[in-house]
Structure 1
Amino acid sequence: MVARSRVQAHLNDHVVRLMQCRRCPRMQSTPVSGGAIVSDVMLIGQAPGPREPVLQKPFAHTAGRTLFQWFEKFCGLAESTVRSTGTDRVPAPDEIRNCSSWMNDEIKILRPRLIIPVGRLAIAQFIECTKLEKVIGCKFCVHRAGHTFDLIPLPHPSGASPWPKISPGKQLTERAMRQVACHPAIAALTGFERSLSRAKSKKTRRN
């Protein structure tokens, strides 16, 4: 409990500093954070759209709904159960470096068991991604920021991209989601959510 409290305190400080970041003068919006949530799973986005800064959470619009439908269908997980962290849009090398330092700091704090990068740009921050067909549906062991973790890439769920909807993307996306669902870190989250649901059900019956 003490160790988790220490991690939470470090993460709180990290998010406060992140929200004040103005390292990239060309950026039109402010950083978007999923909040200071301690978890063994990190969901890494690549480019918040116009709705995310307004709603102040990552994956907040159409693509986000599709993404979390995948998690609901294959893992039985609600959006709030999965740790979300959105990096800024990365059109230039200096902005990639700036955002990467924040991500590295967060990896050092959380030491996640599983990282799920969503979309080609996010995936490329961890492994080579010349073609989605070569990485989607595969699990990788990655070392970054002094920590080793599993990496399961997902395609971007944007409605503008047909890749996850047609062959071979559809089959590879389903394979990747099954890998996510079977991962021990996700299994632990699923068990936690079921326990929470049972506790709420008991409380409702007592009332």
Structure 2
Amino acid sequence: MVRTNTDTASRQTALNALHAELETCRCCPKMIGPAVHSESVLSPVMLIGQAPGTREIAQLKPFCWTAGKTLFNWFAPLGLDEPTFRQRILISAVCRCFPGKNPKGGDRVPDRDEIARCERWWRGELELLQPRLLLPVGKLAIAQLLPVARLDAVIGRQLSYRAPAGWEADVIPLPHPSGASTWFKMEPGRTLLAQALALIAAHPAWQSVLNAAD
């Protein structure tokens, strides 16, 4: 589908409005805000994370701490350093506020109702962008697009997503880069991550982002 300049301007206005509305969201009483979103960039590639942590809430920037450092270190050899990635690729998430701490350790996993209430934000971004490549990061994000029983069944593969509106996108899942995770540091995770990154590097949508004018 060929997009006109008018269409692009209209989608940009709508994305800006969606993010402005997101900033006012207070729908989940157990979630700790304010809600976080990336730069409002129209991109053929969209990354979907799980939920922000305390640092992301403080800085109002997704993937801005330890997990982000690991994530952007994965992408740097593919041609995009962190500042350029943030300028050219929209970073979304399943939930946009911090879920709080789990009494047993680590961050609390958002519950089903919180995930459902927050779905409108990432799906709104998805429909405005209609990206050619989706990068879900972590099992919670992957599960919003694909059935996933085990990470090793989907990481390292290029899969397909068909939106309710009928358009399609390729999906290349990634593990979550959390410092608490060892999955991507051990086999088969290490090899499967390398395979996934190679698929991303070769994808035409990624190449178009690399070649975008500054």
Question: Taking structure 2 as the reference length, what is the TM-score of the superposition?
Answer: 0.86
Deviation at 1:101, TM superposition (A): 1.7
Deviations, residues 11-62 of structure 1 (Å, cap 9, x unaligned): 0011011111111111122211002111111110102111001110100101
Task: Choose which of 61, 83, 90 in structure 2 pairs with 1:83.
Answer: 90
Mapping of residues 57-96 of structure 1, within 5 Å: 57-73=61-77, 75-79=78-82, 80=86, 81-88=88-95, 89=99, 91-96=110-115
SS in 2 for 1:44: strand
Task: Choose which of 12, 27, 30 in structure 2 pairs with 1:8.
Answer: 12
Greater than 3 Å deviation, 4+ residue runs? none
Q: In the alignment, residue 22 of structure 1 is paired with which amino acid?
A: R
2-structure distance, mates of 1:5, 1:91: 34
Which runs of 5 or more structure 1 residues have no equivalent in the other structure? 197-207
Mapping of residues 118-129 of structure 1, within 5 Å: 118-129=137-148
SS in 1 for 2:169: strand
Q: In the alignment, residue 76 of structure 1 is paired with which amino acid?
A: G
2-structure distance, mates of 1:173, 1:99: 28
Q: How many equivalent pairs are there?
A: 193
Question: Taking structure 1 as the reference length, what is the TM-score of the superposition?
Answer: 0.89
2-structure distance, mates of 1:92, 1:27: 10
The answer for the alignment partner of 1:132 in structure 2 is 151
SS in 2 for 1:103: helix
Q: In the alignment, residue 190 of structure 1 is paired with which amino acid?
A: L
The answer for the alignment partner of 2:104 in structure 1 is none
Deviation at 1:82, TM superposition (A): 2.4
Identity %: 42
Q: In the alignment, residue 42 of structure 1 is paired with which amino acid?
A: M
Which runs of 5 or more structure 2 residues have no equivalent in the other structure? 100-108
Q: In the alignment, residue 37 of structure 1 is paired with which amino acid?
A: V
1-structure distance, mates of 2:93, 2:50: 7
Task: Indicate conservation of the 8 Å contact 2:43/2:131, yes or no.
Answer: yes
Return 47-56 or 20-29, whichever deviates more. Answer: 20-29
CA RMSD of aligned residues (A): 1.3
Deviation at 1:96, TM superposition (A): 1.1
SS in 2 for 1:91: coil
Larger helix share, 1 or 2: 1
1-structure distance, mates of 2:90, 2:115: 21
Task: Choose which of 13, 17, 22 in structure 2 pairs with 1:18.
Answer: 22
